[in-house]
């Protein structure tokens, strides 16, 4: 049973999700909340191995269906090993991407059947659903510039398979996210990704802290 509070962060490449999750984790911990942050694809050893396959630019021949199934395989392990146990112990879980990303990228972006994706997501999630989703809405041209700069500055593996997609693909993904937010306004918080890191954090933290239920466990 989902007892903690599950917050996901979504948006196109380079929108600033990862930075904001780090800042929010620090904020929640400072406020006394037992908090963990994680990411998709990945978040645990098995899912991290799948992440390497999914984001490696050398795998651009991967079919959309294979891509979808790898994402949900990684998610099934991630939920089972990391997310569900943390929620069941009453923690706040902050996750960099979740099911909305699969819908935005593989349905709106790739054109795969939405019903197929929804079914696989339900199977992988095992009843776990976000309580709140932060959508950092960002112009893909801005986001891709940031993402490519980050990749060039990184000494590790070049996780750039999606950054090499055409701009039109990323525009479809952004429109997909906007549609998902419009369909579930009670769950989504939309913030302007063109703002500075500090401005974004102020906008996000104010809304998130106000939404945490009193029943969520705090560290004594």
CATH fit for domain 5-211, picks 3.20.20.140, 3.40.50.300, 3.30.70.1150, 3.30.1540.20: 3.40.50.300
Reported as a pLDDT band with limits 50, 70 and 90, residue 139 is very high
Count of CB atoms situated within 10 Å of the CB of 161: 17
At 25, phi and psi to the nearest 5? -60, -45
User: Three-state SS string across 33-49, please?
Assistant: ECEEEEECCCCCHHHHH
Residues 6+ apart with CB under 8 A from 31: 209, 218
142-175 per-position pLDDT tens digit: 888 887 777 777 766 666 788 878 899 999 999 9
Would you say 54 and 75 are in contact if contact means Cβ atoms under 8 Å apart? no
Domain ranges for the chain: 5-211
Return the half-sphere exposure (C-beta side, CA atoms, 13 A cut-off) of residue 73: 15
Which candidate, 117, 124, 96, 121, places its Cα nearest to that of 11? 96
User: Three-state SS string across 70-99, please?
Assistant: HHHHHHHHHHHHHHHHHHHCCCEEEEECCH
At residue 198, the pLDDT reads 97
Residues 156 and 41: their CA atoms lie apart, in Å, by 17
CA 165 to mean position of chain CA atoms: 19
Q: Does 190 have pLDDT greater than 90? A: yes
13-70 per-position pLDDT tens digit: 989 999 999 999 999 999 999 999 999 999 999 999 999 999 998 999 999 999 999 9
* Helix, coil or strand: residue 108: helix
**Beta bridge pairs of residue 137:** 192
Residues 149 and 147: their CA atoms lie apart, in Å, by 5
Q: Does 220 have pLDDT greater than 50? A: no
At residue 217, the pLDDT reads 57
User: Three-state SS string across 184-203, please?
Assistant: CCCCEEEEECCCCHHHHHHH
Tell me the pTM.
Answer: 0.92
Which candidate, 10, 217, 30, places its Cα nearest to that of 100? 10
**Beta bridge pairs of residue 96:** 9, 39
At residue 88, the pLDDT reads 96
């Amino acid at each position: 049973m989902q007892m903690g509070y599950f917050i996901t962060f979504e948006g196109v490449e380079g929108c600033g999700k990862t930075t904001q999750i780090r800042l929010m984790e620090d904020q929640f911990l400072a406020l006394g909340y037992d908090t963990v942050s994680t990411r998709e694809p990945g978040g645990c050893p098995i899912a991290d191995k799948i992440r390497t396959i999914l984001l490696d630019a050398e795998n651009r021949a991967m079919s959309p269906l294979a891509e979808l199934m790898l994402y949900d395989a990684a998610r099934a392990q991630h939920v089972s090993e990391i997310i569900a146990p943390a929620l069941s112990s009453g923690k706040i879980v902050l996750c960099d991407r979740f099911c909305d990303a699969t819908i935005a990228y593989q349905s709106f972006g790739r054109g795969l059947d939405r019903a197929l994706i929804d079914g696989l997501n339900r199977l992988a999630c095992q009843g776990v659903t976000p309580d709140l989703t932060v959508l950092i809405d960002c112009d893909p041209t801005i986001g891709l510039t940031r993402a490519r700069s980050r990749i060039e500055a990184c000494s590790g593996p070049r996780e750039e398979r999606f950054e090499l997609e055409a701009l039109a693909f990323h525009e479809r993904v952004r429109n997909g996210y906007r549609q998902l937010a419009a369909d579930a306004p009670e769950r989504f918080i939309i913030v302007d990704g063109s703002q500075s890191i500090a401005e974004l954090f102020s906008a996000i933290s104010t809304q998130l802290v106000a939404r945490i239920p009193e029943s969520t466990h705090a560290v004594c």
